[in-house]
């Protein structure tokens, strides 16, 4: 396998912070949404920092952010889209084939 | 956890894979409720209340500890209500950050427990007046524990959790064995093996859960 055949890594996910966000969200069951503060707590990121990365992921169609109300309190819910889940799976597969070029991806 | 500002710095593949695994493990750990909150309240409730029942209403009508007969019955009712309230609140709290299929599944399962016990209590309350005093405790305890065993087995089916299913089978089995052995023995089996079994199951599930 030549160097040019190596898989390209998705630039949206290939940034440490966004990779962490997507990895955590990938643990949710499909269709489940997590509250923003809880996601923030799991990732130990500031609200501003997390918002910036979520915006980028949202722009790529990988993440869906929903503003809603739980009772009277406003809540922001985050979920990985089907496209985001696929991108994450492709990304991990690409990493594995970079590590073991002999194996078929 | 890394919180440096070189957030956009690309990493090498091995490092990225390690990061993914670390994040997924951390998310699982934070999102999985402590299994003990669903098992230990019931374990303690059974251990305490069925021990008292055994001591007051022993096999063959023996009285090991001469306390007023309402004491173990009151303790039984109080510990069951407390355990039910605790697991209900703790279960709702553990799921409040997630909305979607998972939280709906949890809510349906919780409601199932409440409705099933309410329905069974209604029936037993109605027929209790026709049951001889010597068998009344066995009727209530036997029926309630049969339902508990079945609901744990259903929980194992819903959550694809073998250890909860096995706990349900175990509870169902000792219940039937205790009912055959008769009043007194039934209480002893439920206290030691039922209550003890739930405490052990909670400790086992905790030890196996991601930390």
CATH number for the domain harbouring residue A42: 1.10.10.10
Determine which of A25-34, B18-27, B87-96 has the lowest per-residue pLDDT on average.
B87-96
| CB of B1 less than 8 A from some CB of A | yes
Distance CA B159, CA B199 (A): 20
- For chain A, the average pLDDT equals 89
Option in A23, A30, A32 nearest B98 (CB): A32
Which single residue is written with the structure tokens 């096999």?
Answer: B59
A105 is a domain residue: no
Contact: A19, B28; criterion CB under 8 Å: no
Helix (H/G/I), strand (E/B), else coil: B138: helix
Q: How confident is the model at residue B189 (pLDDT cuts 50, 70, 90)?
A: very high
Residue B105 in contact with partner chain A when CB distance is under 8 A: no
The mean pLDDT of A70-87, rounded to a whole number, is 92
The residues that bridge with A80 in the sheet, in sequence order, are: A63
A100 touches chain B (CB under 8 A): no
Cβ within 8 Å of residue B107, ≥6 positions away: B92, B95
Q: Which residue of A has its CA nearest to B30?
A: A42
**Domain assignment of residue A24, yes or no:** yes
Record: contact A28-B26, CB cut-off 8 A: no
Element (H, E) at A22: helix A16-25
Spans of all domains in chain B:
35-208
Q: Is B19 on the interface with A (CB under 8 A)?
A: yes
Q: Domain tally for chain A?
A: 1
Q: Looking at beta carbons, which residues of chain B come within 8 Å of A24? A: 23-24, 26-27
In the predicted structure, residue A99 carries a pLDDT above the cut 90: no
At A41, list the tokens.
């707590």
Classify residue A14: in a domain, yes or no. Answer: yes
pLDDT tens-place string over residues B190-202: 999 999 999 999 9
Among candidates A19, A30, A70 on the partner chain, residue whose Cβ is nearest the Cβ of B20: A19
* Tally of CB atoms within 10 A around B35: 20
Cβ <8 Å between B7 and A44? no
A-B contacts at Cβ under 8 angstroms? 96
Report the Cα–Cα distance between both ends of chain A, in Å, rounded.
Answer: 12
| Burial letters A51-82, b for 16+ CB under 10 A, else e | eebbebbeebebbbeeeeeeeeeebbbbbbbe
Closest-CA distance, A47 to chain B, in angstroms, reads 13
Shortest distance, CA B180 to any CA of chain A (angstroms): 44
User: Which residue of chain B comes nearest to A37, CA vs CA?
Assistant: B97
**Searching chain B, which residue's CA lies closest to the CA of residue A96?**
B13
Residue A81 is given by DSSP the state -
* ipTM of model: 0.86
Which 3 state secondary structure label does DSSP give B31? helix
CA–CA distance, B45 with B17 (Å, rounded to integer) = 45
Domain membership of residue A55 (yes or no) is: yes
Q: Using CB atoms, which residue from A49, A92, A99 is nearest to B14?
A: A99
Supply the pLDDT for residue A8: 76
Name the more confident of B205 and B55. B55
Give the separation between CA A19 and CA B20, rounded to whole angstroms.
7
> Do A45 and B3 lie within an 8 Å CB cutoff?
yes
Residue position matching structure tokens 């997390």: A50
Sheet hosting strand B98-99, strand order edge to edge: A63-70, A73-80, A33-35, B98-99
CA-CA-CA-CA torsion sign (B117, B119, B122, B124): negative
Residue A18 lies in a domain: yes
The answer to whether B134 and A63 are in contact (CB under 8 A) is no
Residue at A62 is within a domain = yes
Q: What is the pLDDT of residue B4?
A: 42
Extended strands (E) in chain B: 98-99
Rounded to an integer, what distance in angstroms lies between the CA atom of residue A65 and that of residue A104? Answer: 35
Q: Flag whether residue A49 sits within 8 Å of chain B, measured between CB atoms.
A: yes
pLDDT at B164 over 80: yes
Strand segments, DSSP code E, in chain A are: 33-35, 63-70, 73-80
- Between B13, B27, B28, which is nearest A95 by CB? B13
CB-CB contact of B61 with B134 (8 Å): yes
Q: What three-state secondary structure class fits B10?
A: coil
In a domain, A103, yes or no: no
């Amino acid at each position: 396998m030549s160097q040019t055949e190596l898989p390209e890594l998705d630039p949206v996910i290939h940034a440490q912070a966004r990779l962490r966000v997507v990895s955590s969200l990938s643990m949710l069951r499909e269709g489940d949404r997590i509250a923003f503060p809880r996601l923030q707590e799991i990732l130990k990121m500031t609200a501003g920092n997390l918002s910036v990365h979520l915006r980028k992921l949202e722009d790529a169609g990988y993440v869906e952010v929903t503003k809603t109300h739980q009772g009277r309190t406003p809540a922001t819910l985050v979920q990985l889209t089907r496209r985001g889940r696929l991108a994450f799976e492709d990304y991990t597969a690409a990493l594995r084939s970079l590590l073991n070029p002999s194996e078929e991806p | 956890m890394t919180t440096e500002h070189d957030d956009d710095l690309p990493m090498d593949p091995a490092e990225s894979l390690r990061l993914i695994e670390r994040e997924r493990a951390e998310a699982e750990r934070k999102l999985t409720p402590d299994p003990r909150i669903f098992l230990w309240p019931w374990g303690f409730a059974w251990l305490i209340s069925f021990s008292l029942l055994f001591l007051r209403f022993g096999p063959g009508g023996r009285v090991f500890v001469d306390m007023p007969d309402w004491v173990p019955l009151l303790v039984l009712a109080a510990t069951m209500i407390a355990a039910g309230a605790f697991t209900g609140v703790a279960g709702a709290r553990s799921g409040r950050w997630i909305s979607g299929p998972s939280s709906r599944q949890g809510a349906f399962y919780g409601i199932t427990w409440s409705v099933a016990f309410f329905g069974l209590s209604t029936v037993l309350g109605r027929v209790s007046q026709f049951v001889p005093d010597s068998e009344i405790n066995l009727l209530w305890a036997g029926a309630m524990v049969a339902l508990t065993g079945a609901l744990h087995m259903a929980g194992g089916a819903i959550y694809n959790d073998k250890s909860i299913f096995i706990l349900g089978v175990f509870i169902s089995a000792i219940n039937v064995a205790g009912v055959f052995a008769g009043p007194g023995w039934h209480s002893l089996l439920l206290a030691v093996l039922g209550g003890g079994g739930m405490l052990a199951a909670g400790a086992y599930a905790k030890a196996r859960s991601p930390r």
